[in-house]
Every structure is written in structure tokens, then in C-alpha cells.
């Protein structure tokens, strides 16, 4: 039997604050109160979500998903899932504040082989906000890995002039570990918008 | 958790047509550039393991937040199954629900509308789908509320759902409507779904009293996620 998927709608402006708690934005913690995994380089990711004219998106929800430091997912779709870091979740969520700002903590992801290709280390970000009738999905890369980035099959699909907008920028240290900046521009024309993906 | 290994394109008419006239944020927030079509790699085909440890689940009674405290409004029960496109149950999905109170106001600092708050109604809950994919919430029927702006209209009573399923591509954010409400055909958001049958699937079905008892007016609503065809479940 076949069932068509349900239509998507906007998350609206009122996503409950109680659904986003401290440490929900830490991808390295598998549960509330669990210590973060230490199998990898601890990183912080900071950014802002903005819309037309650069105005802040308030109470937008950003969710992050990535492989562990060795490029594995603890999920049956990964042939190496049994080897994945059991103390690393790879998922987190954050709500934007009055300035549109969000923050994640994680471990530097590893790349992985996919068919004939190699995925460079990356983090998928999903943005949900008032006015977005479907979640917007993008993928951020790191400047540490220029050779892997050049061979990434997803980054290769992005118009060359827009690829730099998918690179996180180093921004000093936070709590002794490297910090990166990645801003999300939802609407701003061809020269400013973050590239978003669909499948 | 049985992950899908196939994600078909959205069938025609199911995705909302955007931007939506009168809904200003669909003009200021939606990218002007086309989305870039990419193949689903492992990152998209996977999702977090045992997310209920990160997001505590089991908060299924919004209408009775404590002993002797009962929210104002028509007490209702919403239940259904989380399914994939092959109608297979999706166990272990995190289902989040949030809604306005009976007066059409959200318990949220951003909702400053001049309508009463209810001290016994926060209006949010989170559950985990069981082995058969079933979920359920006890709550109240929300009120309608107006959308501000030059082209103002009233949102019909509706309940917001967020579902985190077995894969990133199964992520669903949607809204549930109530059968027969006269505001439904006037709602710009519901009507942005082009296909009438797809809109109908966003409307809950009344459940006979024999199935829920007389304490709660029962509604059935299935949450169908994207994805087909199982690979073996993780041992
Ligand atoms: Fe709403």
C-alpha cells in the first residue's frame, strides 16, 4: 500500500521556547546531561540568520546534522555504523535570538567515501522559520580541507561564484577550541543568498 | 528504527505554492534563487540514533498540566500513526505538537495579541512513536487567530506538528486542521497546497466516541513521512 507524504507547512513564529534547551545545541552530547564526546577536535559554530535587506530572523529554528570525527554515522544506512562513536550524537538544534544569532558546539566532522566520490567534512544545516513553507537545507564546509572540498560532489553542484558562501570562516577561539562563523542569508539575491539544496 | 533507502520526488500538488499572496514573510524570507538539486548522500539518508535521550519524550497531556488543573476549552484527543510512503509504521519518531489556547493565543513571548492567556495551558508536548508507529496527545481545541498585515485573515483552528523520523529527508513540519471549520477554505496557508486531496489529508478525522470514551472528543491524524523501502533495522 502506498501513502503520499503529508504536505509541509511553515513552523510559524511561535515554536515553543521549551523545545530548545541549553545543550540541545551541542552535537557531541547524546543526551540531556551526558558529557560531550572527546573523540575529535572540539569546535564552536556561530552564525546569524537574516532575510531580505539583512534583517534578523527572530525565533527561527536551526538544526545541525553531521558525521562523527571519523566520518561515520550511528545509523543503519552507514555500512560502518558499528564503528561510529557511541558518545557522539551528531544532531543538535538552536533557536535564533533577537539578533538572529545561533550557536552550536560539536566535533570537527570527518569526510567519508560515497560510491566513486569522497564527501569532504561538512555539516548539514536545516532552517525553519515563519514564511518558510518547507525547511531550507544547506551544507557548510571547512577551509581546512581545500583538496577534499574541491572533490566534494555536492559542493561541485553549487555555482562557482557562490561556493565561498558555504565555507565556514575561522573566528578565533571559544572556550579554548576553534570557533567558526557561518551566516545564513535566506533572501538577498544571487550575490548574497546562501545556496540551499533539494533532492 | 527502519530507515528508508528511497526518497522519491514530491508528488505533484503536495508542496505549497509559494510565495503566498497576503503572507508577507513568504516574500521576505524565501530564497530568490532556485534550490540546487543534489543527490541524497549518506548525510541525508541518515539521522540521529535514539533522539529521545536528547529530547525527553512522554509529555502527552497538554490539557491537564497538574492535579486539579484543567485547561479551558473543548477537551480533545489527537492520535494516529507515523508512517512512511509504503504505509509502514515508523517507530521511535520524535513527535512535537504545539498550538494556541482556546482563545487563539500562544504561550510565547512573541505572541502579544490582546487575547486571554490560560494559566493551565502552555500548549506544547513531545512524544515518541511506539513500536506500531502510534502517537497520541490529550489537549484542547485551539481558537482561531488573526494574521496581522494589510491583507489580514484568520487562521483556522490548527495544531502544529514537528516530526523527527529515521532520516534527515524524513523531517516533517506541518499543521493539522479540524473537519468542517468554515475558516479552512479561507486560510491562505492551507489553500497554498494546490491538490485538494493533499489538503484533505491535513484535516483530522472525527473518531467515534466508542473508540475514545466520552471524556475527550477524538480526532485521528496520521503523519506520513517521506521515504520508502526498508533496509534491515539496526540490531
Ligand atoms: Fe499557528
- Set of chain A residues whose Cβ sits within 8 Å of the Cβ of B173: 8-11, 128, 135
Considering only CB atoms, which chain A residues are within 8 Å of B100? 14
CA B202/CA B179 separation, integer angstroms = 10
> What's the rounded Cα separation, in Å, for the pair A92 and A70?
18
Please tell me whether the peptide bond between A123 and the residue prior to it is cis, using omega within 30 degrees of 0. no
Please say if B135 is a catalytic residue: no
* Closest Cβ–Cβ partner in B10, B86, B122 for A2: B86
Return the closest-CA partner of residue A135 out of B165, B228, B200, B6.
Answer: B165
ipTM (interface predicted TM): 0.96
In a domain, B44, yes or no: no
- pTM of the predicted structure, to 2 decimals: 0.96
What is the homologous superfamily of the domain A17-185 according to CATH?
Aromatic compound dioxygenase (2.60.130.10)
Q: Is B68 within a domain?
A: yes
Q: Which is higher by pLDDT, B72 or B150? A: B72
Q: State the catalytic residue, choosing from B81, B105, B145, B177.
A: B145
Number of domains present in the structure of chain B:
1
Q: Quick: pLDDT tens for B10-61.
A: 999 999 999 999 999 999 999 999 999 999 999 999 999 999 999 999 999 9
Q: Is B226 a catalytic residue?
A: no
Domain that holds residue B215: 49-224
Does some domain include residue B99?
A: yes
Instruction: Encode chain A (199 residues) as per-residue pLDDT tens digits.
Output: 789 999 999 999 999 999 999 999 999 999 988 999 999 999 999 999 999 999 999 999 999 999 999 999 999 999 999 999 999 999 999 999 999 999 999 999 999 999 899 999 999 999 999 999 999 999 999 999 999 999 999 999 999 999 999 999 999 999 999 999 999 999 999 999 999 999 8
Helix boundaries (H) for A117-174: 146-151
B231: in domain: no
Q: Would strands A136-141 and A122-128 be described as parallel, antiparallel, or unpaired?
A: antiparallel
Show me where the domains of chain A are located. 17-185
**Rounded average pLDDT over B111-140:** 97
Angle at CA of residue B55, ends B50 and B58, nearest 5° = 95
- Give A42-93 pLDDT, tens digit per residue: 999 999 999 999 999 999 999 999 999 999 999 999 999 999 999 999 999 9
Please state the three-class secondary structure of chain B as a single string. Answer: CCCEEECCCCCCCCCCCCCCCCCCHHHHCCCCCCCEECCCCHHHHCCCCCHHHCCCCCECECCCCECCECCCCCEEEEEEEEECCCCCECCCCEEEEECCCCCCCCCCCCCCCCCCCCCCCCCEEEEECCCCCEEEEEEECCCCEEECCCCCEEECCEEEEEEECCCHHHCEEEEEECCCCCCHHHCCCHHHCCCHHHHHCCECEECCHHHHCCCCEEEECCEECCCEEECCCCC
A157 three-state secondary structure: helix
* Helices marked H in A46-115: none
Distance between CA atoms of residues A190 and A170, nearest Å: 24
Please give the torsion angle defined by the CA atoms of residues B96, B168, A74 and B166, in that order, rounded to the nearest 10 degrees.
60
Kindly report, residue by residue over B61-93, the tens digit of the pLDDT: 999 999 999 999 999 999 999 999 999 999 999
- Contacts with B, A 82-141, CB within 8 Å: 89-91, 112, 114, 119, 122, 124, 126, 128-137, 139
Residue B145 is a catalytic residue: yes
CA–CA distances in Å: residue A51 to residues A25, A55, A60, A99, B151: 22, 5, 11, 12, 21
Whether B23 is a known active-site residue: answer no
Q: Establish if B117 belongs to a structural domain.
A: yes
Residue A137 in contact with residue A198, Cβ under 8 Å? yes
Q: CATH code at B92?
A: 2.60.130.10
Please judge whether B16 and A186 are an interchain contact, meaning their C-beta atoms are less than 8 angstroms apart: no
CA of B211 to the centre of ligand 1 (A): 28
Question: Contacts of residue A53 in chain B, CB cutoff 8 Å?
Answer: 28
The answer to whether B65 touches B71, Cβ cutoff 8 Å, is yes
Q: Look up residue B9 and give its three cell numbers.
A: 520526488
Asked if A22 reaches chain B (Cβ–Cβ under 8 Å), the answer is no
Amino acid at each position: 500500500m502506498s501513502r503520499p507524504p503529508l504536505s509541509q507547512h511553515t513552523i510559524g513564529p511561535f515554536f515553543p521556547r521549551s523545545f530548545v534547551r541549553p545543550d540541545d545545541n551541542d552535537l557531541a552530547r547524546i543526551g540531556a546531561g551526558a558529557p560531550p564526546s572527546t573523540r575529535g577536535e572540539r569546535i564552536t559554530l556561530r552564525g546569524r540568520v537574516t532575510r531580505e535587506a539583512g534583517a534578523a530572523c527572530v525565533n527561527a529554528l536551526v538544526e545541525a546534522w553531521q558525521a562523527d570525527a571519523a566520518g561515520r554515522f550511528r545509523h543503519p544506512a552507514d555500512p560502518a555504523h558499528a564503528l561510529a562513536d557511541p558518545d557522539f550524537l551528531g544532531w543538535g538544534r538552536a533557536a535564533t535570538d533577537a539578533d538572529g544569532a545561533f550557536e552550536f558546539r560539536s566535533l570537527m566532522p570527518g569526510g567519508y567515501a560515497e560510491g566513486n566520490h569522497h564527501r569532504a567534512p561538512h555539516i548539514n544545516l536545516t532552517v525553519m522559520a515563519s514564511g518558510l513553507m518547507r525547511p531550507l537545507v544547506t551544507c557548510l564546509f571547512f577551509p581546512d580541507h581545500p583538496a577534499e572540498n574541491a572533490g566534494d560532489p555536492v559542493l561541485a553542484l553549487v555555482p562557482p561564484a557562490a561556493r565561498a558562501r558555504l565555507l565556514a570562516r575561522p573566528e578565533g577561539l571559544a572556550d579554548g577550541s576553534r570557533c567558526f562563523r557561518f551566516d545564513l542569508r535566506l533572501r538577498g539575491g544571487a550575490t548574497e543568498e546562501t545556496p540551499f539544496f533539494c533532492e | 528504527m527502519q530507515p528508508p533507502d528511497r526518497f522519491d520526488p514530491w508528488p505533484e500538488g503536495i508542496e505549497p505554492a509559494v510565495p503566498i499572496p497576503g503572507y508577507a514573510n513568504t516574500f521576505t524570507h524565501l530564497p530568490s534563487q532556485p534550490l540546487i538539486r543534489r543527490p541524497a548522500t549518506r548525510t541525508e539518508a541518515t539521522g540521529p540514533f535514539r533522539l529521545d535521550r536528547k529530547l525527553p519524550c512522554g509529555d502527552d497531556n497538554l490539557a491537564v498540566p497538574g492535579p486539579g488543573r484543567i485547561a479551558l476549552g473543548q477537551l480533545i484527543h489527537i492520535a494516529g500513526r507515523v508512517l512512511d510512503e509504503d504505509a509502514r509504521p515508523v517507530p521511535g519518531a520524535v513527535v512535537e505538537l504545539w498550538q494556541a489556547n482556546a482563545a487563539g493565543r500562544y504561550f510565547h513571548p512573541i505572541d502579544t495579541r490582546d487575547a486571554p492567556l490560560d494559566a493551565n495551558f502552555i500548549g506544547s508536548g513531545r512524544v515518541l512513536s511506539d513500536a506500531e508507529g502510534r502517537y497520541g496527545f490529550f489537549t484542547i481545541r485551539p481558537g482561531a487567530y488573526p494574521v496581522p498585515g494589510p491583507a489580514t485573515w484568520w487562521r483556522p483552528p490548527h495544531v502544529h506538528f514537528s516530526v523527527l523520523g529515521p532520516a534527515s529527508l524524513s523531517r516533517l513540519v506541518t499543521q493539522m486542521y479540524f473537519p468542517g471549520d468554515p475558516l479552512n477554505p479561507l486560510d491562505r496557508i492551507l489553500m497554498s497546497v494546490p491538490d485538494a486531496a493533499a489538503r484533505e489529508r491535513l484535516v483530522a478525522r472525527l473518531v467515534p466516541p466508542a473508540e475514545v470514551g466520552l471524556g475527550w472528543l477524538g480526532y485521528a491524524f496520521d503523519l506520513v513521512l517521506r521515504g520508502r523501502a526498508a533496509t534491515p533495522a539496526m540490531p
